[in-house]
Amino acid sequence: MKPVEINRSRIPWALIAKVGGSAAFFFWFYMIWNSSVELHEQIKTTSDHYSAVHQLQVDYKNEVQEWKNVLLRSKNQETLNQQWLIYDTQHMKVTSAVQAALLQSDVRYLTENLKSFDEAHSANYQQYKNSVQLLLRNRFDPVEADTAVKSIDRPLLEYLQTADTAAQDETRRLNETLAYKSRTQIEQSLVVLAFLAMLVIWFKR
């Protein structure tokens, strides 16, 4: 029995090159696309952090204003209870927001400032409660109570401003990385396409 001879001239090398080249190109394209998706997700996450910190600034300023209302609008025990309840509700809103932001944050500098804010926020709450006792002791005259907690909100505002800047910087850095990566991927894709075209032309000869 004679061995089967393979006619090498009939092997569709051009077709094999096209199929193999196409498979390689689409795999390459998938890797680029997947990398871009991951980077877009990072940008979205950081943008969400920025939005959360920005909203936290607004909520905390509202909390400070509600504390001022405790001092200015409390004329007796009943109005004090009403104003303190409003302030306390806003305080809890800020506490919940910062805890949520900490759980989501993966930017070290942002996390550090949020932690510092959270600790100072808890400490200030106790000082405000002590200040209420001064308000009661002075028969709802707010001067001494206000002096006792004067300017204790400023460091917290600075923490939030620093965190806000950190979130903006991280978003900017990721956008620059995405732009650079996109340019690089386009250049690499053009090189791959040119190589595939040359390969097909060569095998057609």
- Which DSSP state fits 3? P
pLDDT above 90 (res 123): yes
Average pLDDT value over all residues in the chain: 81
pTM of the model: 0.69
pLDDT value, residue 188 = 67
pLDDT band at residue 52, thresholds of 50, 70 and 90? Answer: confident
142, burial (CB in 10 Å: exposed 0-12, middle 13-18, buried 19+): middle
pLDDT value, residue 21 = 60
pLDDT band at residue 176, thresholds of 50, 70 and 90? Answer: confident
pLDDT above 80 (res 37): no
The number of CA neighbours under 13 Å toward the Cβ of 99 is: 7
- The CA distance from 182 to 170, in Å, is 18
DSSP secondary structure of 93-152: HHHHHHHHHHHH---HHHHHHHHHHHHHHHHHHHHHHHHHHHHHHTTT-HHHHHHHTTTT
